[in-house]
């Protein structure tokens, strides 16, 4: 007896079944729901994902800028110490 993917229930499907057993069954049978509200929700999620990706990119840039600023500050202190000693 081998692994049969069609009879395996994923953990995420349990929550879907508890929320709406009919919807779970229809998705399990291959039905793809479509509505204006669903399309709007999918677009909102995609937009949010894009914003998060952008924020992560800005975070990397700000971290690099911080390290550059700290490096320059160390160089200034070294030059000041060399100049006054």
Higher pLDDT, 15 or 79: 79
Put residue 30 in one of left, alpha, beta given phi > 0 → left and psi -120 to 50 → alpha. left
CA distances from 44 to 6, 16, 39, 47, 58 (A): 31, 20, 9, 5, 21
Question: Nearest-5° angle of CA 25, CA 28, CA 32?
Answer: 95
Q: What is the pLDDT of residues 59-75, one digit of tens each?
A: 999 999 999 999 999 99
CA pair distance 81, 64, nearest whole angstrom: 26
Q: What is the pLDDT of residues 3-25, one digit of tens each?
A: 566 677 888 888 888 888 888 88
Q: Is the pTM of this model over 0.75?
A: no
For the chain, give every domain's residue range: 10-84
């Amino acid at each position: 007896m081998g692994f049969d993917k069609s009879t395996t229930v994923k953990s995420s499907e349990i929550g879907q079944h508890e929320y709406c057993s009919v919807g779970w069954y229809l998705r399990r049978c291959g039905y793809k729901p479509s509505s204006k509200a669903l399309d709007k929700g999918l677009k909102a999620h995609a937009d949010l994902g894009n914003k998060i990706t952008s924020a992560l990119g800005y975070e990397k840039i700000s971290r690099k800028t911080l390290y550059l600023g700290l490096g320059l500050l160390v160089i200034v202190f070294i030059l000041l110490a060399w100049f006054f000693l």
